[in-house]
Amino acid sequence: MGHGLCVECKNCDYGESFMLGVGMQYNSLMNVISCLKGAARNKVVDILENHHVMDGEFEHRLYACPNCNTLHERFYVHLEYDDGKAFEVAFRCGKCRTPLEVVDENVLVLERYACKSCGKRELERGAEMLWD
Ligand SMILES: [Zn+2]
Ligand SMILES: [Zn+2]
């Protein structure tokens, strides 16, 4: 079961829900391959179909742009295959193209991040929610 992190801006009416973790149908990466786009998706399909996967991890994670200081949700995938090779998806900020960094939600300090609408650092946590 995944969970949603809801953030709201105290300064304007911006609000956003980040769906994190994994849902019920996430027992196989192939089931949820549509979470990936473009080249990353092709690469993962190629690895799953044509290589020997030793270990893997995938879930929706919280990312941040270190340049814009904004929060983003992305589908994280890490695969180890063919005895020593590894693949990890990388994401860029849609606005400034800076590589996004994974944020550990347990140590998330919302005050560090800017509202995507008004730009002020006035974000606070809204209601928690669950999704599958
Ligand atoms: Zn950015
Ligand atoms: Zn705002």
According to the model, what pLDDT value does residue 81 have?
98
Ligand nearest to the CA of 121: 2
Percentage of the chain with pLDDT > 90?
94
Q: How remote is the CA of residue 119 from the centroid of ligand 1, in Å? A: 12
Question: Mind spelling out the 3-state secondary structure of the chain?
Answer: CEEEEEEEECCCCCEEEEEEECCCCCCCHHHHHHHCCHHHHHHHHHHHHHCCEEEEEEEEEEEEECCCCEEEEEEEEEEEECCCEEEECCCECCCCCCECEECCHHHCCHHHCCCCCCCCCCEEECCCEEEC
Its domain, for residue 127, covers 2-131
According to the model, what pLDDT value does residue 128 have?
84
Q: How remote is the CA of residue 122 from the centroid of ligand 2, in Å? A: 7
Mean pLDDT, residues 89-95 taken together: 96
- The CA distance from 49 to 34, in Å, is 16
pLDDT of 1 higher than 90? no
Ligand nearest to the CA of 68: 1
Question: Structural domain tally of the chain?
Answer: 1
Ligand nearest to the CA of 118: 2
According to the model, what pLDDT value does residue 127 have?
86
